[in-house]
Structure formats: structure tokens, C-alpha cells
Amino acid sequence: MLEKTEQFVSVPVPAEYVTRVMALVAALSTGDETPVTVKEPEPAVAAADANDVGKVRELLPGVPWSVDDLARLASASLFTTRTVAHMLDVLAETPGRWHTTTDLVDRLGIVRSNLKGVLSALTRHVRKHYRRSNWPLTTEWGPNLGDHPAEMHYRLDDEAAAARWREARARGGGTS
């Protein structure tokens, strides 16, 4: 894992490869020697401008996460899915409570840039493997919540969502 004191250098990367490079760096920084393979999205999704969230949502709708889908996510062995599973474990402890990025970075024991890379990779993973545009958790920018810090906040909306996650874990979807 990268220490918070590691030095970074700027490397010019074509814009269309930024998220792939971020996923690779996230995997490498954890000592994960598994080769990172990022496949191209289907043509219709690839044709949508990455910044055109409305177009992507039109092509890939938001679909509720079933226990089966969550168990599949939890049992995947990618660095991204393992990290998201641990993140969901934290969120399931206090459903409905917003957790800041800072809180999650501390709880997960990773650096902020790794979490950013993981969540970027999660978007691609969810689109490709689950054919949906929504994550299994809710996000919101802190100031939109009122008196919250200016950083992203994450939560499982309610006890029902947390119960689905715990059931997915109990079915053998990894360990919490």
C-alpha cells in the first residue's frame, strides 16, 4: 500500500485512459500482483460521452440491488470489489448515517486517491457486469446535506439495504 508520505509525479495520460491508469495504480499500490484488465464497454455505452450522465443512465438504468447481485459483488476477487465490500461492511454498521470520504479512508486503511480509483473502477464494473448505472450505496456532496464537510458522503439508505448486504455476506459473499 502507498504510504501517505510517498512522492508522486505527474505523468501525461490521454484523457480516454485516465480511469484505466487510476485503476492500475490503485491495484499496484496495494501490492496486488493480479494483472489489471479493463475491457472496452459496449459500443452504445462507449459512444455516450463519459460526462453525459443522463445518456449513460438512459442506456443503463438504475436497478435495485438484490441479495443475489450483492452476493456476486461481494464474492468477486478484484481489488476494487474487495475494497467496495469492506466499504459496504462499514456502511452497514450504521444504515442511514452519512460517512465522509475521510472517515472511510481511515476505516478502510487506504489513501484517498486509492478510494477515488476504486470508486471510478466500480462505476465501470457495475456498468459492465450488472448492466446498471447505480452503485449499491448512496452518495451525496456534503454541502448538499446541510452542515456537512465539503467532501463526498456515502451511506446505505436504511436497515433494509444493510440487511440485504449482511445476507449477501452470509451467503458466502466474502467475509466482513
The answer to pTM > 0.85 is no
Split at pLDDT 50, 70, 90, the class of 138 is very high
Tens-digit pLDDT profile for residues 6-63: 666 667 766 666 666 666 666 666 565 555 554 444 545 544 445 555 555 567 878 8
Give me the pLDDT at residue 101, please: 97
Give me the pLDDT at residue 121, please: 94
Instruction: Kindly write down the DSSP assignment for every residue of 98-131, as one continuous string.
Output: -EEHHHHHHHHT--HHHHHHHHHHHHHHHHHHH-
Q: What are phi and psi of 69, to 5 degrees?
A: -65, -40
H helices present in the chain, as ranges:
18-29, 43-47, 53-59, 67-75, 79-93, 101-108, 112-130, 159-170
Tens-digit pLDDT profile for residues 80-94: 999 999 999 999 999
Sorted by where each starts, the structural domains of the chain and their CATH numbers stand as: 15-170 (1.10.10)
Bridge partners, 100 (sequence order): 153
| Grid coordinates belonging to 47 | 459512444
